[in-house]
Structure 1
């Protein structure tokens, strides 16, 4: 367009179509060497100039090669203008100018620098976008790997505790041992075949908690358990096995370490995709409850929350022989949303 506006009215007898054709041909003939040099500089010279630990004479060779090619391309433009564009494209209607005039040389040099600089800027911008995208993929893969490791770490931890419970029942020759084994089988089936999914429904998560609580109740006689559920939508999804470590800790550090009557109270409230999960349990002074915040289950839960949810709040309180965990999660802020 610039070439067309520059030519318009200057070639006597040319129609509008002829002006447009002449402008197009002139731009192509002058632009091809510029494009060639832009690609040459961006994809050959620059990568070599930026290589690390090169001897000085190698760099000098690349700089010399770059200058030779640049001067050659500039004079190629001048030759095409002098021998093709002026006599053929413009039909000899412009007076010829000196082929090697310095002023025109500098003008063409500026065009070469501008074209190469623009291409280099575009390539650098695209490379940065590609690097950022690759970085995102690597971070995502790292987080997914860490999440799998956390779940794999939690499952043996849960299995270890549950097998201890069953062992205690079998040692007492309790009839409850068989029922406990069946419930453990159901839990392990879930862990093996369904917990690898990114999310499960609230209904499934509550069922797992119910099964675990029933499994633990077989072991304790002097334990009061209250499980309050208020769910407005059973199809809402949650990360699998996210809440189980909190319930597991309540049993492990509450009734298991108590010689007297103990209690566990659980509130499971879901309202408009916001989960309010609170669990409290009694414990005896001097038990291992004081260091509960450092155990595997709570650490795993905290880390999984960091990896998977953008909006959550986890509070832990240990006072008056009652351990209290309060967890609020906006389930609509799952990391993959």
Structure 2
């Protein structure tokens, strides 16, 4: 049986049990006054609950969605009071005319009076209040469940995008780096063993260490060191590359692979080959208030990818993960493109 139909049946059963309990309770209350059980007593309890039900369901399915949820508070209160008044009058009218004479009702609940009307009015109000409270609790729980599911979907989406980012980085960067290292090996460069070790550390970080939401800042900075060192292999000697960072790295945690998309794009798209003018400036600094500052600047040409308003999946992934993993007061990201210079300023609260 489909879950939707099953839930609907449970809902109907719940309502049925609620009103059955209410009728039984009112039968007991009326018995305390009349000290006898007869058809008239059950009829009064049934008619009273019909009046209660009219107010409850009109409030739940008409007044709340059409007035209260739309913040029409004055109209909601007006129609609610009118509904309670008419419902209470309905209960008394049915009990007094004609059930009082047909079934021989003789107690004070069968007499139309101001006191009796007030009693039914506040009893009806109590049922409306309780049912409204239960509805709000149910709606709140449903909203919490929906928010949880949306957060889970968003997390899974970000994880999938991060995996896609890793998948794009692995073959592209790996093959380029291996080709460059191979070229150095042919010239028997002394840098080859060191570069192979850096490449190994870099791949280990991408595949294994960056699986968690937060990782050691030390490991992430080491990854950036290795990444920049390997990128420099294929960069022209005329390109000015400045990389600076703090000597003492704080013992803190950070979301992984936040800087790699910006650095990768700087090397990939930010070096158009303009003679003696290509540059990349990358810097890390640390503030005493616990914020890490990442700055990046590089030149580009108007024909480059930046001019097409397409920052790529990597940078979009960074924006979404920052929003998902950090509070709004824990980070700020500013990206500017001006005078053929691409700039990034990321301030991030360390964990």
The TM-score by the shorter chain falls in which range? Answer: 0.5 to 0.7
Rounded Cα–Cα distance in structure 2 between residues aligned with 1:117 and 1:193: 57
| Residue 30 (structure 2) aligns with | 78
Deviations 1:265-309, CA, capped at 9 Å, x for gaps = 112112122222111123456444534743232222223223233
Matched, 1:153 2:164: yes
More displaced stretch, 294-303 vs 168-177: 168-177
Q: 1:270 aligns with which of 265, 277, 286?
A: 286
Rounded Cα–Cα distance in structure 2 between residues aligned with 1:100 and 1:122: 28
Rounded Cα–Cα distance in structure 2 between residues aligned with 1:318 and 1:171: 36
Larger Rg: 1
Q: 2:215 aligns with which of 171, 185, 200?
A: 200
Q: Does structure 1 conserve the Cα–Cα contact (< 8 Å) formed by 2:181 and 2:196?
A: no
- Give the 4+ runs in structure 1 shifted more than 6 A: 68-72
Rounded Cα–Cα distance in structure 2 between residues aligned with 1:70 and 1:321: 76
RMSD of aligned Cα (Å): 3.6
Residue segments in structure 2 that go unaligned for 5+ positions in a row: 1-10, 37-105
Q: Pick closer, same or farther for the CA change 1:118–1:316 going to 2, 3 Å.
A: closer
Deviations 1:231-288, CA, capped at 9 Å, x for gaps = 7761232211111111111111234x42645332112112122222111123456444
Q: Pick closer, same or farther for the CA change 1:156–1:259 going to 2, 3 Å.
A: farther
Q: What is the TM-score of this pair, normalised by structure 2?
A: 0.62
Q: 1:324 aligns with which of 343, 347, 350?
A: 343
Q: 1:314 aligns with which of 322, 329, 333?
A: 333
Q: Does structure 2 conserve the Cα–Cα contact (< 8 Å) formed by 1:154 and 1:296?
A: yes
Q: Pick closer, same or farther for the CA change 1:317–1:111 going to 2, 3 Å.
A: closer
Rounded Cα–Cα distance in structure 2 between residues aligned with 1:285 and 1:109: 78
The offset of 1:213, in angstroms, is 0.9
Rounded Cα–Cα distance in structure 1 between residues aligned with 2:13 and 2:285: 60
| Residue 299 (structure 1) aligns with | 316
Q: 1:224 aligns with which of 224, 240, 255?
A: 240
Q: What is the TM-score of this pair, normalised by structure 1?
A: 0.64
Q: Does structure 2 conserve the Cα–Cα contact (< 8 Å) formed by 1:230 and 1:270?
A: yes
